[in-house]
Chain A
Amino acid sequence: MTQRSAWGTGLAAVALCLVVVLLGLCAGSSGLDTLGRALLDASASDGAQATARQILWEIRLPRTLGALAAGALLGLAGALAQGLFRNPLADPFLLGSASGASLGVALALAFAGGAVWGAGESRVWVHLGLTGAAFLGAVLAVALTLLLSRGVQHTLRLLLAGVVVGVVLGACSSLVLVLQPALLQTMQGFLLGSTSLIAWPACVLMLLVWVFCASIAWALGRFLDALSLGQATARSLGLASPGLRGLLIAVLALATATAVAQTGLIAFVGLAAPHLVRATVRVSHRQLVWLASAAGALLLAGSDLLARSVLAPQDLPVGLLTAVLGGGYLLWLMRRGAPGNTV
């Protein structure tokens, strides 16, 4: 019985994703009718046609797909965090990756300075520059947390180390900003969660990373289920706990760092996605991996759609809408008292 509901929910989620992609092509600074007319009308000028084509295929489509991919990464990371730490309040940024990304960006800007922007020949390095710095910062922060907690065995120590690393690295990036206040605006611009700058390379990269991480997480889904019985029981069932936990934490770090590097810090998606799934249908971790990805993808892409259309042509910050949408839906579910709801 649980199988059927999970499949049904999954199919519904995929259908919704397709709807979101279609809507994504419509929403933006000009409506689909204007663009459609420009594309289909033979008498329209070449320039207008080219612009319309560019807007649809090079701006709106990668932005929508990128929002889906980033949301999927964050949803997956949230499900992993909550499963690994057996804590319904865990989110992907638990192990200090958010502060790590901030510090990475701050240091890159402080040391590379103009080189990050200039040097037209090495566009790749420039692009790698800030996104790569954010990625590295996030990953290294998690590594530092693992080092501090001396392994992955003790959950409480891991969580405490994550909090400490988060606070300390946050203080370090504040220090960098104090010493070089000119960086503040740039940093804020980079870190403020935003889906508006996702191009095709970023989109494809995120999709590939998501497929990789989701496959590993799906394979280890049983382990996560067994973990819910306690680490000792999982070990007694033959699952080598430390190695597998370490692998899952690595996957968590990879997924979070990739999403943060491309879209900045978007709160609440990772926290809310698994809860949205659990409030709708009862699933084991194997199914949760896919459904939480879908929930996160829909949440972020839906927020992105609204961000573009509510006050068009203005663009609202997407983090605002994820909190409103995700939080609102969760509140409604709690009030309704959905079956199998443990929130």
Chain B
Amino acid sequence: MERQSSALHAHALDVRAGDCWILQQLDVRLHAGRWTSVVGPNGAGKSTLLRALAGLLPLHGQVTLLDRAWETWGMAERARALAWLGQGERASDDLCAYDLVMLGRLPYQGWFGSPDAQDRAAVENALRATQSWDWRSRALAELSGGERQRVLLARALAVQSQVLLLDEPLAHLDPPHQADLLQVLRALVQQGRTVVSVLHEISFALQADQMLVMAQGRVLHQGACADSATHQALVQVFENRLAIHALAGQWVALPCTPA
């Protein structure tokens, strides 16, 4: 794909956390209007990559976001263009769901601004998309794990950004809600947004458009999910303990013992 259609492009990316280099000399291209899933074994650096691309870790290397160099983006501008949802996020139990999702509109509000109609509409859309509208005034303390995760997702959706970086968005969700969320992500991609997700469930990851296979801080393979090369890379990175099958029009990954 030509460079013009990449939402995020990182070249020779080095990311350090603390004293050690977690990601070294990465070359990552995330295509615009596509859903890319990042997979790999534990400790591969997937979360670190997402955090780095969200601007939460110091970056070394060349990065372009939406065809502009990283350095030209102001913080508030970047916050409007890029939303990040961390893994296992905690939130104060005091806030009610609505207020928490409204926090996602912070990049659009100044210090003294109050929510306007646009903000409220965005929040409502986000809550409805995650089926959380009915209990929007309940405090977080009263919600179950899955409900809380949906509210946090709604917060990320409320930003209405071009690029969404989601780290384990399906955690704590039961299958119906997992399916719902995947539908939401697909709808967003169809609208032209870019979604990057780190997913533990390989089967769900295989439903994306592109896949980034990582291991030990390096990118092993980057390609379409339907590609057999991608499947091979996947199996290899999991030490041949994984088998990928086609089932009802989808790719499904199942653990297996090596032959």
Contacts and interface: CB of A to CB of B under 8 A. Distances in A.
Contacts of A219: 111-112
B47 to A, nearest CB: 11
A225 interface: yes
Interface in A234-269: 235-240
A222 interface: yes
Contact of A230 (B82, B86, B93, B141): B86
Contacts of B107: 237-238
Contacts of A240: 75
A230 B56 CA distance: 12
Interface string B84-111: 1010011111111001100110110101
A230 B90 contact: yes
B93 A342 contact: yes
Interface string A43-70: 0000000000000000000000000000
Contacts of A239: 106
Contact of A236 (B79, B90, B96, B137): B79
B103 A236 contact: no
Most A CB contacts (10 A, CB to CB) among B103, B112, B139 go to B103
Given A2-B96, A220-B111, A229 B78 contact: no
B96 A282 contact: yes
B86 A232 contact: yes
B99 A236 contact: no
Nearest to B80: A238
Interface residues on A, range: 20 to 34
Contacts of B76: 238
B223 interface: no
A340 interface: yes
B150 interface: no
A2 B138 CA distance: 11
A278 B95 CA distance: 11
A269 B54 CA distance: 40
Q: Tell me the dominant secondary structure on chain A's binding face.
A: loop
Contacts of B80: 238
B34 interface: no
Most B CB contacts (10 A, CB to CB) among A222, A239, A282 go to A222
A86 B103 contact: no
Given A228-B91, A230-B86, A235 B55 contact: yes
B137 A1 contact: yes
B134 to A, nearest CB: 15
A222 B94 contact: no
Given A240-B75, A340-B139, 17 more contacts: A86-B92, A219-B111, A219-B112, A222-B103, A226-B106, A228-B91, A229-B89, A229-B100, A229-B103, A229-B155, A230-B91, A235-B56, A236-B54, A236-B82, A238-B75, A282-B139, A284-B95
Given A233-B84, A235-B56, A278-B94, A225 B99 contact: yes
A225 B56 contact: no
Interface in B41-98: 51, 54-56, 75-80, 82-84, 86, 89-96
Contact of A228 (B77, B78, B95, B106): B95
Most A CB contacts (10 A, CB to CB) among B51, B55, B84, B95 go to B95
Contacts of A284: 95, 99
A24 to B, nearest CB: 33
A342 B94 contact: yes
A229 B82 CA distance: 17
Given A1-B137, A238-B78, A225 B103 contact: yes
Interface pairs A-B: 8 shortest CB-CB: A238-B79, A228-B92, A236-B84, A238-B76, A238-B107, A237-B106, A219-B111, A238-B75
Contacts of A232: 51, 56, 84, 86
A278 B112 CA distance: 23
Interface string A209-232: 000000000011010011011101
Most B CB contacts (10 A, CB to CB) among A1, A219, A237 go to A237
Interface in A298-343: 340, 342
A56 B139 CA distance: 47
A340 B96 CA distance: 9
19 contacts: A1-B137, A222-B103, A225-B103, A226-B103, A228-B94, A228-B95, A229-B89, A229-B91, A232-B51, A232-B56, A233-B84, A236-B79, A236-B84, A237-B104, A237-B107, A237-B159, A238-B77, A284-B95, A284-B99
